[in-house]
């Protein structure tokens, strides 16, 4: 049981560093309290989908696509960052449109920014764990997700950080998303794959 708990802690903590930066960008952009529940709900759905995908891939699929193909998911955060930054809508209209689709956007961002890393860690972890421990593992994941989300939200409340995010939220989000997308594509070998084709 202790081995399973430590494995769950390590596997989830190992995938949260990139996600924490994404959460800072999301909470920094959506500072209204009504948005926070939507963000957390989107995180739960996105992480739940990743866990279910990992379980299915660990036990049902024999063929996993080459990692460079998964790296193409890195194009999504880059596209979202560019679209948000270069959008010509006024700030009020942009905020309303953004808030309306916040759950969907957080789910998609979670899936695209975390899928390659999370699947690479979760699949071997779930393949080696007795399914009777699954409820405990899911509780550990939920507790860590809550702690990471709460910490990111609280950090965006500091006056200095809040002032920075109020002034530069779109630019910060663009930089984070482009770097994250490029990182996903690099770590998955997507960029190297296309460079070798030249």
Mean of the per-residue pLDDT values of the chain? 77
Q: How far apart are CA 133 and CA 79, in angstroms?
A: 39
Q: Stretch 44-54: mean pLDDT, rounded?
A: 88
What are the residue ranges of helices labelled H in 30-158? 33-59, 67-70, 75-86, 91-100, 102-127, 134-155
63 — pLDDT class (breaks 50, 70, 90) = low
- Say which range, 16-25, 30-39, 56-65, 69-78, has the weakest mean pLDDT: 56-65
Q: Which residues contact 88 (CB under 8 A, 6 or more apart)?
A: none
- pLDDT for 75 equals 80
Cα distance between residue 1 and residue 54, in whole Å: 21
- Of 131, 123, 120, the closest CA to residue 184 belongs to 120
Mean pLDDT over 24-39 rounds to 86
Q: Which two tokens stand for residue 1?
A: 């049981």
Residue 126 pLDDT > 80, yes or no?
Answer: no
Residue 69 CA to residue 183 CA, distance in Å, equals 14
Q: Please answer whether residues 8 and 121 qualify as being in contact, where contact means their C-beta atoms are separated by less than 8 angstroms.
A: no
| Mean per-residue pLDDT, 139-146 | 86
Q: Mean pLDDT lowest for which of 24-28, 68-72, 135-139, 167-171?
A: 68-72
Gap between the terminal Cα atoms of the chain:
50
């Amino acid at each position: 049981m202790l081995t399973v708990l430590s494995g769950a802690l390590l596997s989830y903590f190992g995938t949260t560093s990139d996600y924490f930066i994404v959460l800072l960008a999301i909470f920094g952009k959506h500072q209204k309290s009504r948005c926070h529940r939507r963000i957390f709900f989107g995180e739960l759905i996105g992480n739940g989908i990743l866990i279910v995908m990992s379980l299915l891939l660990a036990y049902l699929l024999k063929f996993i696509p080459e990692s460079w193909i998964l790296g193409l998911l890195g194009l999504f955060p880059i596209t979202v960052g560019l679209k948000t930054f270069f959008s010509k809508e006024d700030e009020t209209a942009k905020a309303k449109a953004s808030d309306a689709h916040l759950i969907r956007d957080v789910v998609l961002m979670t899936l695209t920014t975390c899928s390659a890393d999370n699947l690479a860690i979760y699949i071997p972890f779930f393949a080696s764990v007795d399914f009777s421990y699954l409820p405990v593992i899911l509780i550990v994941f939920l507790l860590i997700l809550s702690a990471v989300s709460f910490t990111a939200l609280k950090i965006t409340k500091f006056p200095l950080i809040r002032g920075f995010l109020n002034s530069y939220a779109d630019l910060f989000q663009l930089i984070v998303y482009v770097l994250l997308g490029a990182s996903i594509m690099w770590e998955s070998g997507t960029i190297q794959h296309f460079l070798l084709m030249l």
